[in-house]
Amino acid sequence: MIIWALWKNRNNVLWAGTRQTAQDVILSIFAWCDEYQRARGTVKQPHKQPRTRWKPAEDGAFKLNVDAAFLPQQTTGGIGGVLRDVSGNFVAAFARPVQHAASPKQCELLAIRAGVDFLVSLQQAVIESDSTVAIAEALSPDHSMLANGGLIDDIQCAMQCIPSIRICYQPRSSNLVAHRLAGIGFEANHNSVWLGLVPQCIRDVLSHDLQYLT
């Protein structure tokens, strides 16, 4: 599977002009390996509590998962998000670079801010992030003295335009698609938005989430 993933990435570079990062290649390998083991019936029953998987919102709302990528030695980052309906079907996604980023938390807050903007046309939605610190600050009623106070104020003002919106925490294991998109945004030099049609770059991780819903 490792050889196949490397070969597929190499062919995509030659014939489609696209490439996956090493992190994306590894995630693809894990997803394929998991599917193979499930098909062969070789998955051993875990002795510990299973990982949290992505689930749709219980109240039928749309769910937008967001994430951010950041390296301390650089001043740039990346953010991404994926919007799915109550059946887990792809609706839309975005990935974009972030210039002059100061911290991982700032990037996570920017991902939440972009997510709120993405949901303005919806009446009911849930935003999920795997950063408890960013969520706590985004919902803080007293944020004027915080380092990202202006950004937090933007988030809260934008949320007032959506009648029913919630921001919730989910661990990384149920936020894999957004994590992939954040990595894509980190390496990009332009903003990308996909509507309706699932982009090739996240098709495998989306399928990986869906198979646990059936």
What are the sequence ranges of the domains in the chain?
Answer: 2-40, 62-210
Q: Distance (Å, rounded) from C-alpha 65 to C-alpha 85?
A: 11
Q: Distance (Å, rounded) from C-alpha 174 to C-alpha 52?
A: 6
CATH of span 62-210: 3.30.420.10
Q: How far is CA 156 from the centre of its chain?
A: 21
pLDDT in tens, 72-95: 887 889 999 999 999 999 999 999
Model confidence at 16: pLDDT above 80: no
Predicted confidence band of residue 64 (pLDDT cuts 50, 70, 90)? very high
pTM for the model stands at 0.74
Q: What was the pLDDT predicted at 190?
A: 92
Please report, for residues 26, 129, 134, the alpha-carbon distance to residue 139 in angstroms, rounded to integers and kept in the order given: 34, 13, 9
Exposed/middle/buried for residue 213 (C-beta within 10 Å: 0-12, 13-18, 19+)? exposed
